[in-house]
Structure 1
Amino acid sequence: MVLFITLGLGKLLDNVAKSNRRAREAELLYVGNLYRDAIRQYSESTPAGTRPYPDKLDDLLRDPRYPVIRRYLRQLYRDPITRQAFETIQAPAGGVIGVRSASPQNPIKITGFNNDQTGFSTARSYQQWEFIYVPNIMAPPNK
């Protein structure tokens, strides 16, 4: 009897832990997309002759290129998986093009990603979930 209770309790705790991890994973996807969208907005509002990416994530809180306050994020969010700051991904020409988790854990979610999350379904760790903004320079002109 005690064995069955112990096994049941162990299974319950495992389910709770997995549920919490799924919630943190969903939050990672949400917050990562917030960063990608903020970098996109920063890039799309770039004045001619300046680098299209922020030098650091703090530039998304207040764009230093303008005399008036421009914000693309309300705050710098922490990585929900590690509960630490996100790792930044640098553009070859300089500036931050995205963020990623520092967690080497395997993701639970492997399907159902949106178009901006290509490669997420084959990722072997959260580190491979890279939330990057790259402008589509090959887009056809508007008619």
Structure 2
Amino acid sequence: MRAPSTRQAGFTYLGLLAAVVLMGLLLTMAARVWSLTEQREREEQLLFAGDSIRFAIAAYYAHGHRYPNTLQDLLVDNRSPVPVHYLRRLYIDPMTNGTEWQLVPAPEGGIKGVYSASTLAPIKGQNFAEIDKGFTDKDCYCAWQ
């Protein structure tokens, strides 16, 4: 039996090398798509958490005509005989994965709002809900105030 020529053996190696390069490119493309999908989901979570905190602060203010001093005040409001719970739990900031929100101070004291400390550029730039129209065309999540 004859040994295969070196020319044929090199062809197999070249084909295998091309297949590995192609798989690497496909995996890179899949990772980019997955990363964008994950960021979109975190954006939706950020909008949900921000709106929940916004509505809780508005309800707190409507109940006593002053803003909460801390976010903990939204969990249990002891200003009345029966404690009121505006939030069941404090939401994490999905962009930084922490519970430390940046606070928007109210002119008369307390917290008027919250925003993320993330400096990442948002994917979503248009088509916000009416209450979030101020977020249109912002260049980082920290500008979503």
Tell me the equivalent position of 1:110.
125
| Correspondence 1:12-51 to 2 at 5 A | 12-46=30-64
The size of the alignment, in residue pairs, is 126
**Alpha-carbon distance in 2 for matches of 1:73, 1:53:** 15
| More relative contact order, 1 or 2 (CA 8 Å, 6+ apart) | 1
- Given that 2:126 and 2:137 are in contact with CA atoms closer than 8 Å, whether structure 1 keeps it comes out as no
Provide structure 1 residue ranges, at least 5 long, that are not aligned to the other structure.
Answer: 131-143
1 CA distance for matches of 2:123 and 2:54?
22
Within 5 Å, give how 1:38-77 maps onto structure 2: 38-46=56-64, 52-77=66-91
Identity in percent:
38
**Superposition RMSD in Å:** 1.1
Query: How high is the TM-score relative to the length of structure 1?
Result: 0.84
Counterpart amino acid of 2:22? F
Q: Structure 2: state its 5+ residue gaps.
A: 1-18
**1:111, CA displacement in angstroms?**
1.2
Give deviations 1:19-70, integer Å, cap 9, x for gaps.
1111011000001000001011111111xxxx52101111101113112110
Say whether 1:78 aligns with 2:92.
yes
Aligned to 2:105: 90
